[in-house]
Structure 1
Amino acid sequence: MGEEVEAQEFSRADRTHHRERVRRNLDVFARMLREARFDTDDPMTGLEMELNLVDEAEDPALKNAEALEAIADPAFQTELGQFNIEINVPPAKLREGGLTTFEATLRRSLNDAEEKSAAVGAHMVMIGILPTLAEGHMTLDSLSANPRYKLLSEQILDARGEDITISIDGVERLRTTADSIVPEAACTSTQFHVQTSPEMFAEYWNASQAIAAVQLAVAANSPYLLGKELWRETRIPLFEQATDTRSEELQAQGVRPRVWFGERWINSVFDLFEENVRYFPALLPVSDDEDPLAVLESGGTPKLAELRLHNGTVYRWNRPVYDIADGVPHLRVENRLLAAGPTVADTMANAAFYFGLVRALAERERPLWSQMSFSAAEENFHVAARHGIDAQVYWPGVGQVRATELVLRRLLPLAREGLQSWGAAEDEIDRLLGIIEQRCLLGVNGAEWFVGRVRAEGGRERFAALRAALRDYRERMHTNEPVHTWE
């Protein structure tokens, strides 16, 4: 969830001072880009995963503090809801077996954490939205104890001036309201990180935007919310609404949402940071003592603390990241639109597909985005979130096409090419892209399996059916057999 902040109140002077600080950060960032001060050698990839916690009855377990204490591993951290935790996997180079390393690290860490957290009555689930969440869990009491989360909730509700409305029309219809940002906690994700040079950042970000819909189509895993069957990736509309600081009047005026696909292809990473500063007021106007220009001119690396904190409260599906490792700054694209699961193997297949495809498209001589309007990419994104593996999307040179057909005929060969460019091993490529291929051939991803399993319960009460399906899901999750092989 970003930088830690303490509970506090903000005055008008705080906000004015913070705005000046953010703009000064932005100026220093622009100078750093001009002076080529970034680590661009041998780029790394990274992975973070958010998880849900359930009790023995498959209901949400509001026990992340107890679970984290039992796990006692700094790789695991708190998340927004008490029924969430997050694991951060050390970055790796794909040419050094990074995909296999990610998978082995995840499996080992999750198995160990599950054993320890189970002792306090909390079992981990890799799924985008916990299907057994009920209205009673959507209260301020479900927020984690970290002061940042309560403060963020207060700032979003204050900016909005009214309760948050959740309204989603899918297979069924959901209407509800919330007096906090707890509904956001229902949206757990996997984040893939790709380090890139400033010169290539725009290509990697534009490519990530162009393929976002296809990623969602093949990996959707969030079909239920509060007992309703909605979109195949319900996290998308839920997150867009749960963190919306705009009243209905501001929405009607065209004010931009904080959960944002964007509105144009970019030419530089600076475009994204500059848009974030220009369009969005600070939610957490916390100021640092650092003088970034003095640090830069003395040969150091400025933290740009205000810019980074502000960037963390503008929720782009593909987010730009400025970070520092061993005193050297670098840039990453954070691809944050997919749910975790259903298994570690499925998650790693999603990672391989993304890492390979984004590199192949970023390095093509003729950019894909020069042949495709940005609005078409955004429309594809929401169509894929709604329909999942049955989605039809627009693609240059093809027109409207089933996402699965597009993947099988065109995108899997590109993903293979990109992974080979990264230096990934052929056996890794064959196994992981083979999972994506089988999902497309069989028409099965996490969302499709879960909906089918719930419907197989017949006329049983919905939450009873969801608990039964989730119990089966968890058992199969631990086998690490990909979801397309599940009965």
Structure 2
Amino acid sequence: MGAEVTSRTFSRAQRTAYRQRLLENLDHFAHYLSTARFADTASIGLELELNLTNRDFSPALRNQAVLKRIADPAFQTEIGAFNIEMNHPALSIGQFGLKDLEDGLRTQLNRADQRAEQEDADIMMVGILPTLTPGFMDGWEWLSSGQRYAALNTSVLQARGEDVLLDLSGPEPLSFYAQNIAPEAACTSVQLHLEVSPEQFAPAWNAAQMIAAPQVALAANSPIFMEHVLWHETRIELFKQSIDTRPPEMRQQGVRPRVWFGERWITSIFDLFEENVRYFPALLPELSGRGDETTSAGAPLLAELRLHNGTVYRWNRPIYDPGSGTPNLRLENRVLPAGPSVIDVVANAAFYYGLVEYIRTADRPLWSRLAFKTASDNFLSCARHGLEATVYWPGIGEIPVAELIVRHLIPQAAEGLRALKVDPTLINRYLDVVSERARTEQNGAAWQIATLRRLEESGLARSAALAEMSRLYWENMHSNTAVHAWPVG
């Protein structure tokens, strides 16, 4: 959800004062990084954004009622009234940590699903709900309650000065103007957290940026938006366009988008916070206290810097958390779509954590042999084409991403997981899921596209086929069978 704010609009004086406070926060952060002691437990965590549906699998716009039924602080609102977010407690990845994560996710989701049924709603883990239609953006029913969401919508539209143009390519291109940022609510993700020390952060972030392409190829699960078949992971481009504060002229001038892959390898976590302040105007310029508040342990709150960081949507985001005791730094990986099943989600996490560990600790940094723009190009190619994409990889050259994953990255991820002391049976369990998905080239996106085609060939119209495809998806999701084994149609 992010930090709440108290106002939907902000004055010029508030924006001026906030800019000054951001600069002060940045100076305090630079000093604190060089002197403070941070937590170094290497814990992992996970956030999972979910869709609520009616019995016909259309969006159910009643997250407040469902959350009241769930009655668990681990579940919160998201921007869309048909979305909720679940937070899994932090844990250690070592030994049986990944199995604990799988069991914990299943327990939390099963309980939430039972409570949602009391409101005649179902829960779906999917990157974009396939049954969304243009009508869901009409009015304000789509928007969750809370000042933050309304303020974010207002600030994005004010910055643009016009409606939001969505221009999406793919097999069935889609272009239209949206009068609000409702399309952003269509994008639901899994966010993986990794706690790191200041010294470890830059290598971990660089490694995460490098593997974002194979990550999104493996996990692509968002091929359909507004009844159009688009990118395999349409969520990547849809999220970027739906919350873009730049009018066309600013885009032509090369102004950076708020949903940003980045433009260079880094040497410190400070590089990213400094870029945030240098390049991006505040969307939610709300001051908090005097600006010099600290925790009882002496860690600066830096409320403005943290709030601002939450409105720069990097695919790998830096997190500073002052905590209640020892502060910590985290890398938040935002590449993955939600779903398709719990076993798939945890397998994706195992692949990510193992591969980051392998690459960041290598004697010669792998990213030093890859141009940053090539990493970005790889990322976009994999978002468009999923496991059908071809990428460039150091020491290999051009290679189909599925082959790269099976022949090279899975063995490296296994080595990284062994270094993290993960139980060997779990390494095999989760990486076998990843291997079979890459070998068969059936991820969530491929399954959705193939099933939709099969249903339409049987005579169903597009809207009916999408509803039936969603029903089959929901049944497979609840079986907790990995998506590579889902029958098509």
Q: Deviations over 1:455-474 (max 9, x none)?
A: 00114211110100110110
Change in Cα spacing, 1:349 to 1:299, as seen in structure 2 (3 Å) is: closer
Q: Provide the rounded CA distance (Å) in 2 between the counterparts of 1:418 and 1:162.
A: 48
Secondary structure of the 1:478 match is helix
| Deviant stretches of 4+, over 3 Å | none
AA paired with 1:56?
Answer: R
Q: Provide the rounded CA distance (Å) in 2 between the counterparts of 1:263 and 1:100.
A: 36
AA paired with 2:105?
Answer: L
Partner of 1:44: 43
Q: Does 1:201 align with 2:198?
A: no
AA paired with 1:84?
Answer: N
Q: Does 1:393 align with 2:391?
A: yes
Tell me how far 1:96 sits from its aligned partner: 4.7
Q: Provide the rounded CA distance (Å) in 2 between the counterparts of 1:441 and 1:251.
A: 39
Q: Deviations over 1:284-343 (max 9, x none)?
A: 001111443x749x9611111000000000000000000133322111110001111110
Partner of 1:440: 438
Q: Provide the rounded CA distance (Å) in 2 between the counterparts of 1:312 and 1:377.
A: 24
Change in Cα spacing, 1:130 to 1:299, as seen in structure 2 (3 Å) is: closer
Q: Provide the rounded CA distance (Å) in 2 between the counterparts of 1:200 and 1:259.
A: 24
Q: Deviations over 1:375-402 (max 9, x none)?
A: 0000000000000011111101111101
Q: Does 1:240 align with 2:240?
A: yes
TM-score by length of 2: 0.97
Q: Does 1:453 align with 2:451?
A: yes
Q: Deviations over 1:397-443 (max 9, x none)?
A: 11110111101111111101111111111111110000000011111
Partner of 1:226: 226
Alignment of 1:350-429 (within 5 A): 350-429=348-427
AA paired with 2:133?
Answer: A
Alignment of 1:137-216 (within 5 A): 137-139=136-138, 140-216=140-216
Partner of 2:305: 307
Partner of 1:282: 282
AA paired with 1:439?
Answer: R
AA paired with 2:79?
Answer: L
Secondary structure of the 2:322 match is strand
Secondary structure of the 2:203 match is helix
Partner of 1:15: 15
Partner of 2:114: 115
Which of the numbers 311, 333, 336 marks the counterpart of 2:334? 336
Q: Does the 8 Å CA contact 2:297/2:324 hold for their aligned counterparts? A: no
Partner of 1:250: 250
Secondary structure of the 1:463 match is helix
Q: Provide the rounded CA distance (Å) in 2 between the counterparts of 1:141 and 1:299.
A: 43
Secondary structure of the 1:375 match is helix
Change in Cα spacing, 1:66 to 1:22, as seen in structure 2 (3 Å) is: same
Tell me how far 1:33 sits from its aligned partner: 1.1
Which of the numbers 307, 317, 320 marks the counterpart of 1:319? 317
Q: Provide the rounded CA distance (Å) in 1 between the counterparts of 2:234 and 2:436.
A: 23
Tell me how far 1:97 sits from its aligned partner: 2.1
Q: Does the 8 Å CA contact 2:204/2:356 hold for their aligned counterparts? A: yes
Q: Does the 8 Å CA contact 2:259/2:314 hold for their aligned counterparts? A: yes
Q: Deviations over 1:214-271 (max 9, x none)?
A: 0011110000000000000000110010010000001111111000000001011000
Q: Deviations over 1:341-379 (max 9, x none)?
A: 110000000000000001110111101110000000000
Alignment of 1:73-88 (within 5 A): 73-88=72-87
Q: Provide the rounded CA distance (Å) in 2 between the counterparts of 1:309 and 1:179.
A: 25
- RMSD over aligned CA atoms reads 1.2
Q: Deviations over 1:23-75 (max 9, x none)?
A: 111111101111143222x2111100000011111111111111111111111
Partner of 2:260: 260
AA paired with 2:321?
Answer: D
Change in Cα spacing, 1:291 to 1:5, as seen in structure 2 (3 Å) is: closer
Q: Provide the rounded CA distance (Å) in 2 between the counterparts of 1:344 and 1:198.
A: 32
Q: Which runs of 5+ in 2 are unaligned?
A: none
Aligned length: 484
Change in Cα spacing, 1:133 to 1:413, as seen in structure 2 (3 Å) is: same
Partner of 1:136: 135
AA paired with 1:70?
Answer: R
Tell me how far 1:16 sits from its aligned partner: 0.9
Q: Provide the rounded CA distance (Å) in 2 between the counterparts of 1:146 and 1:97.
A: 38
Q: Provide the rounded CA distance (Å) in 2 between the counterparts of 1:37 and 1:21.
A: 24
AA paired with 2:57?
Answer: E
Q: Provide the rounded CA distance (Å) in 2 between the counterparts of 1:8 and 1:262.
A: 29
Identity of aligned residues (%): 52
